[in-house]
Amino acid sequence: MAQGQIRKALSGYYYVYDGKQLIQCRGRGVFRNRGESPLVGDIVEYTVETAGSDGTIQKIMDRQNELVRPPIANIDQGILVFSVKEPNFNTILLDRFLVVLESFHVHPIICLTKMDLLEDHEREELQSYIEDYESMGYIVLQTYKDEEELVERLQPILKGKSSVLAGQSGVGKSTLLNTLIPDLNLKTGVISQSLGRGKHTTRHVELIEVCDGLLADTPGFSSFDFDEIEKEELGACFPDMARVAEDCKFRGCLHLKEPKCAVKAAVETGEIRDYRYKHYEQFIQEIMDRKPRY
């Protein structure tokens, strides 16, 4: 059987890229019977009965990861788009996004927009946060309005990767997409203004080749929750905490009230920032308060 990647899903059809062309395919009925569904990003095996006819997806290969909103698989990295003003930079929201991406084993890239709107004193305060997140191992990209070099700066980040955008409304996701994919405005048009909805509200998910990589043409995520994260897993989604957690006295330490907790000790010394630990406490409480699933 031939193998390819689903690049687009629309109206019950899956468009599989075989390295040269897109083949329009349907999924086997057995997927529905098993409660499975092919996703954009899936590597699949498919057959075509006769030249020029639709193909049939026969098998979905094992996934590296699977996201729910948008429904997409095998994503390498998520570009977290956060404005520094209008709306203002928010560390707890950023940490929420970071944690969920980490839980899906999607590598986060932090992209800060509207840097040109900052006053000098605001820039100094933001710089301390930038240094914090860079020390945790995250790439922090600072961008400005009408920046001519933006695509050039994003090229090495996107090259060879499958990426998806995430961020609140109004932070610049659409602007970033339109910068990377110049004909996107022609594709989306202005249909949504009269409906009072975002331009991408009714769009399908599609992986588009850009900067020698693949970028999901989708508005990405507007909010994240912790439905798929257990309290024992949360600490591993904070890389600054995970680095020291192995020195905790007790295996499975939740870093709350346990004695000789290396994470709490690192918070006391400033090795782990206090605001990060407070966010951890809030998130783990949210997980523990979650209604059990049956």
Tens digit of each residue's pLDDT (9 = 90 or more) over 46-84: 999 888 789 999 999 999 999 887 889 999 999 999 999
Count of alpha carbons within 13 Å of 250, Cβ hemisphere only?
11
Which residues are registered as beta bridge partners of 163? 77, 215
- 231 annotated binding-site participant: no
Kindly give the interhelix angle for 173-180 and 150-158, rounded to the nearest 10 degrees: 90
- 174 annotated binding-site participant: yes
Q: What is the mean pLDDT of residues 5-14?
A: 94
Q: Indicate if the pLDDT at residue 136 is higher than 80.
A: yes
- Higher-scoring residue by pLDDT: 291, 191: 291
Count of alpha carbons within 13 Å of 232, Cβ hemisphere only?
3
- 170 annotated binding-site participant: yes
- Beta pairing, strands 77-83 & 107-113: parallel
User: Cβ distance 40 to 73 under 8 Å?
Assistant: yes
User: Cβ distance 76 to 106 under 8 Å?
Assistant: yes
- 24 annotated binding-site participant: no
- 167 annotated binding-site participant: yes
Which residues are registered as beta bridge partners of 55? 25, 48
- Report the Cα–Cα distance between both ends of the chain, in Å, rounded: 39
- 115 annotated binding-site participant: yes
- 169 annotated binding-site participant: yes
Q: Indicate if the pLDDT at residue 189 is higher than 80.
A: no
- 248 annotated binding-site participant: yes
3-state secondary structure at position 57: strand
- 113 annotated binding-site participant: yes
- 244 annotated binding-site participant: no
User: Cβ distance 211 to 163 under 8 Å?
Assistant: no
Report how far residue 171's alpha carbon sits from residue 78's, in angstroms, rounded to the nearest whole number.
15
Residue 290 neighbours by CB distance under 10 Å: 14
User: Cβ distance 39 to 7 under 8 Å?
Assistant: no
Q: Indicate if the pLDDT at residue 148 is higher than 50.
A: yes
What does the pLDDT read at residue 223?
59
Report how far residue 162's alpha carbon sits from residue 158's, in angstroms, rounded to the nearest whole number.
7
- 83 annotated binding-site participant: no
Return the structure tokens found at 226. Answer: 């912790």
Residue 33 neighbours by CB distance under 10 Å: 8
- 163 annotated binding-site participant: no
User: Cβ distance 117 to 144 under 8 Å?
Assistant: no
